[in-house]
Amino acid sequence: MTVKKGVSTRVLSREKTRKIPLYCTGYPESQFIENYMEIYKPKLNSNEKFILNGRDYNLIRQMGFDAISLWDFRRGKGEYKLSNQLRVDGWGRIYKNNWYTWTGIFKDEQTIENWTNLKLPSKDKIKILKNFLQKNEAKLDFVLSLPGLFEKTWQSMGFSFFAKCLKSDYKLVEKVSTFFFTYVKDLISLLQSVGAKLFIVADDVGYKNREFISKDIWKKLFFSKYKDITNVIHEKSQKIIIHSDGYISEMINLFINIGFDAVQSLEPNAGVDIFSLFEKYNKNICFIGNLDMSLLSFGTPHQVENYVIRLITKAEESSSPLIISPTHLINSKTNPINIKTMIETTKKFEFKI
């Protein structure tokens, strides 16, 4: 039996659709949910089938979103304490209390070879996901989050040490990135086995107005690995998105050549001019996001409406696939009225086919 593709999947396939999909970057923070419920008082149909890890995804659908990312299935349990205040998580990052210290445990090849703290999600957790996806596939497009190779490489080493090793011990950097590459491929295989069809790699490569590292270094380290990952996804006619904060305009051509189906976030406040990207890349990649959190938190509904209209109009002029989305997770500061405005404005539009 052929399952009808959701509108988000069709746009990711660069099919022409009348409706513009709306993507939720993850389950919103609880304070936002409380604020939204207080203002709009949606009537939710209590249905255990649509609850995952205590979160009611019926609310996401009733809000008007077509797709949402799931972030709870990136790894299993695995961490240990260094002291009363310091701990090491499964990725090899060192935390002080709840704050990442910008350093990691991967300082030599032996540590990497002996690392057993990074585990795939447990069988019980995967069984829960399988049941959830099977029961709710037709209700929303669920996008499974994957760890990013660049992020996990430098975070597990610490950024200063990572930067030094780019010059003095490139072999170690390559070994760390390969370790995470192998893990991500195993994770994808596991998630595919229980019904996952859409994926998003969370891999921040940009600051405000510039990249973390040079485009050439990033390409040397990660291009072929990500090419293999996108091939694994596409072999099953599935889709994969790259998410990155910061300025990434100069990276888009690399993302296209790798085979990513879409790029998500596209922060205007970090210097990303999505309108220039529409004109430059047209239908070569799907664009998701560009509704900055500052606009959605502190802007007026009229400003949100005008920006959404401009996004959709310019995307249509350039024949650029577009999915409307906040740049980041909807948090406690986000104005529910602005989210409602974003959604309702989008749903008023139809592309010409």
Give the DSSP letter string of 156-179: HHBHHHHHHHHHH-HHHHHHHHHH
Report if residue 293 sits inside a domain.
yes
Report if residue 110 sits inside a domain.
no
CA distance 4 to 24: 21
How many residues are there in the chain? 353
In 3-state terms, what secondary structure has residue 202? strand
At 106, list the tokens. 């991967």
Segment 82-111 mean pLDDT: 96
Q: What percent of the chain has a predicted confidence (pLDDT) above 90?
A: 90
At 120, list the tokens. 């795939």
Structure-model confidence comparison of residues 329 and 18, the more confident one: 329
Q: pLDDT-based confidence at 95, cuts 50/70/90? A: very high
User: Which of these, 349, 327, 326, 346, lies nearest to 336 by C-alpha position?
Assistant: 326
CA distances from 213 to 208, 217, 221, 243 (A): 13, 7, 11, 16
CA distance 106 to 228: 24
Q: Average per-residue pLDDT in the chain? A: 94
Report the CATH number that the domain containing residue 61 is assigned in CATH: 3.20.20.210
Segment 209-233 mean pLDDT: 96
User: Which of these, 271, 267, 322, lies nearest to 18 by C-alpha position?
Assistant: 322
Q: pLDDT-based confidence at 185, cuts 50/70/90? A: very high
Report if residue 83 sits inside a domain.
no
Looking at residue 211, the DSSP 8-state letter turns out to be B
Report if residue 249 sits inside a domain.
yes
Residue 45 pLDDT > 90, yes or no?
no
Q: What is the pLDDT of residue 327?
A: 97
Residue 137 pLDDT > 90, yes or no?
no
CA distances from 159 to 3, 77, 90, 92, 118 (A): 44, 24, 17, 13, 20
Report if residue 98 sits inside a domain.
no
Query: Domain tally for the chain?
Result: 1
Residue 145 pLDDT > 50, yes or no?
yes
Q: pLDDT-based confidence at 139, cuts 50/70/90? A: confident
Question: Domain containing 129: what range?
Answer: 7-73+119-348
Segment 278-301 mean pLDDT: 97
Segment 11-34 mean pLDDT: 94
Residue 1 pLDDT > 50, yes or no?
no
Q: What percent of the chain has a predicted confidence (pLDDT) above 70?
A: 97
| Extended beta strands in 203-281, E state | 239-244, 262-265
Structure-model confidence comparison of residues 46 and 159, the more confident one: 159
Report if residue 294 sits inside a domain.
yes
In 3-state terms, what secondary structure has residue 100? strand
Q: What is the pLDDT of residue 351?
A: 72
Q: What is the pLDDT of residue 46?
A: 64
CA distance 239 to 228: 14
Segment 326-336 mean pLDDT: 98
Segment 289-306 mean pLDDT: 98
Q: pLDDT-based confidence at 206, cuts 50/70/90? A: very high
Residue 3 pLDDT > 60, yes or no?
no
Q: What is the pLDDT of residue 116?
A: 96
φ, ψ (nearest 5 deg) of residue 129: -60, -45
Report if residue 159 sits inside a domain.
yes
Q: pLDDT-based confidence at 96, cuts 50/70/90? A: very high
Residue 2 pLDDT > 60, yes or no?
no
The reported pTM is: 0.95
Report if residue 78 sits inside a domain.
no
